[in-house]
A = this chain, B = another copy of it.
C-alpha cells in the first residue's frame, strides 16, 4: 500500500486554486485570497487546513481549529477542544479511506473533537467512533453535533 501523508496546508495561490474543486468553498476561502492579495497574510502562511495530495493534486481536505476552553460547552473536565469542519474528499477519490485517515490524524492530537455532521453523514461519524450529543437548541442552533472523546473525557 502506498504511503498516504496528511499535510498541513500553506496558504498560497496554488492552494486556493485547489480549494475551488471542493464543494464547501465560501467566505473563508475568499477571505484568505483577499488577505493574500492585500498582503495581510504572507505567501505560504499556515492555515487551519490539512489535506492529502496525490502527486500534486489536493484530493481531500479538512479544517481543524483549536477552541479555547472558555468556549467549551461540550466536554468535561474543562479543556480546549478541536473543531473539525469542511472534511471532504473529492468525488473520484472516495471509497479509499482518505476521510478516515484525516479523522485519525485529528484524533492523534489527543484533544476532544467536535464536528457538525453534514447531511446524512451520521453513519460515517459513528464508524469513526464519534457520537451524537444530546441536542441543545440554544447551543446547537440546528447543528448536528458529533463528538469524539479521548480517554477520561465525557459530555458536559
Contact = CB atoms under 8 A, between A and B. Distances in A.
Interface in A2-19: none
A142 B86 contact: yes
B65 A30 contact: no
Interface stretch (A21-29, A72-80, A92-100): A21-29
A27 B144 CA distance: 5
Contacts of A133: 27
A30 B24 CA distance: 25
A142 B85 contact: yes
Contact of A24 (B31, B83, B119): B119
B28 A140 contact: yes
Nearest to A86: B142
A89 interface: no
B83 A28 contact: no
Contact of A144 (B28, B63, B117, B132): B28
A117 B137 CA distance: 20
A145 to B, nearest CB: 6
